[in-house]
Structure 1
Amino acid sequence: MLAGDDEALREFIALRRGPLLRSAFLLCGDVHEAEDLVQSTLVKVVMAGRRLDRIDNIEAYTRRTLMSVFISSRRRLWRREHPHAAPPDRTAEAPADIDMGLAVRTALAEVPPRQRAVLVLRYWEDLSVEETAHILGVSTGTVKSQSARGLATLRSALGDALPESVDRSADAEEARL
């Protein structure tokens, strides 16, 4: 994307805002905070698009920016408030099992921010280990270990809400990959 190509930036934002909002919601668990994360991310992308000579992969740049904005938001001192157990606003695409969806989102809130970023990129965005490592600026080994730890925390937080059909030994499998 060339600097100053405002029309291309507008089209990109129009196409990617929804998927970015869904990913941001999975990261933070609050629709209003997700909107703030996406807004901050898109402002940074637009500013970089105007400032830099070229962004080779605007999609990857945007994902990395979203993850950076999310992780840095968790470092702020004012983030010491604790969310209530109220369910989030419903989206247009309600999952088939609403109770399980709520349980997973609640459990996801217990996963530390970096691990949550890895889980969202790997299992929601369906990126490879290498792509996730590139976006987060870490090694593939870090992605694998963060995935395994994040999944273990998620499974532990889900407890009895996790269906019996789910293989609970997947943590060991993920760590070996």
Structure 2
Amino acid sequence: MDATSEASFAEFVRAQWRDLVRAAIFLGAGPHEAEDIAQQTLVRCYASWQRVTDATNRDAYVYRMLLNQLRDVRRTRWWRSRVDVEADGRVDDASSQVVLADAVHQALDGLTKEQRDVVVLRYFVQLTEAQTATALNIPAGTVKSRLSRALAALAGSHHLSELSEEHR
């Protein structure tokens, strides 16, 4: 990679790091695991930087890489055993931010994988419908229908309704 490409990549990493980690967390990874997934995604970006910069929609291309990296990690036996340990080891925290984050995560856990992917990319990462469709390799109409069903499920989630009742 030449110096110009190196500088371009370094700027991209500075601008995208936080959003990539946040997206991985909302897609179900723990904080440390999300950093690992974001880092592995950026390594893949570095290895194919020319394809990333040539992509029609760079954000969608990179978030597709993030989703693929997350799926690769979850396919391993290590991930399956680790999820069981984390589920058993949760500790409640009294802070309102932790309670809110937990309620959101639990509500998102109630969605199908496909619905969760659409909600995270559309609302947390703030991709457009077209970018979300490109990232997930599905038609834009499918993004809209999955999003509609996901929002209906979230509206009916007892995790979020219990939270809103506590703040009344």
Tell me, yes or no, whether TM beats 0.5: yes
State yes or no: 1:86 paired with 2:86: no
State yes or no: 1:126 paired with 2:123: no
Matching of residues 1-177 of structure 1 within 5 Å: 4=2, 5-49=5-49, 54-80=54-80, 81-82=83-84, 83-84=86-87, 86=90, 97-154=97-154, 155-156=156-157, 158=159, 160-163=161-164
Inter-partner Cα distance in structure 2 for 1:54 and 1:159? 41
The answer to whether the Cα contact below 8 Å between 2:60 and 2:132 also exists between their aligned partners in 1 is: no
Paired residues, number: 157
RMSD over equivalenced CA pairs, Å: 3.1
Comparing 139-148 with 41-50, which one deviates more in the overlay?
Answer: 139-148
Inter-partner Cα distance in structure 1 for 2:9 and 2:129? 28
Inter-partner Cα distance in structure 2 for 1:36 and 1:157? 32
Q: Identity over the aligned pairs, expressed in percent?
A: 33
Task: For residue 164 of structure 2, give the secondary structure of its aligned residue in structure 1.
Answer: coil
The answer to whether the Cα contact below 8 Å between 1:29 and 1:109 also exists between their aligned partners in 2 is: no
The answer to whether the Cα contact below 8 Å between 2:107 and 2:160 also exists between their aligned partners in 1 is: no
Matched residue type, 2:133: A
Query: Which structure features the higher share of helix residues?
Result: 2
Unaligned runs of 5+ in 2: none
The answer to whether the Cα contact below 8 Å between 2:108 and 2:116 also exists between their aligned partners in 1 is: yes
Measured after TM superposition, the shift of residue 162 of structure 1 is: 4.6
User: TM-score, normalized by length of structure 1?
Assistant: 0.71
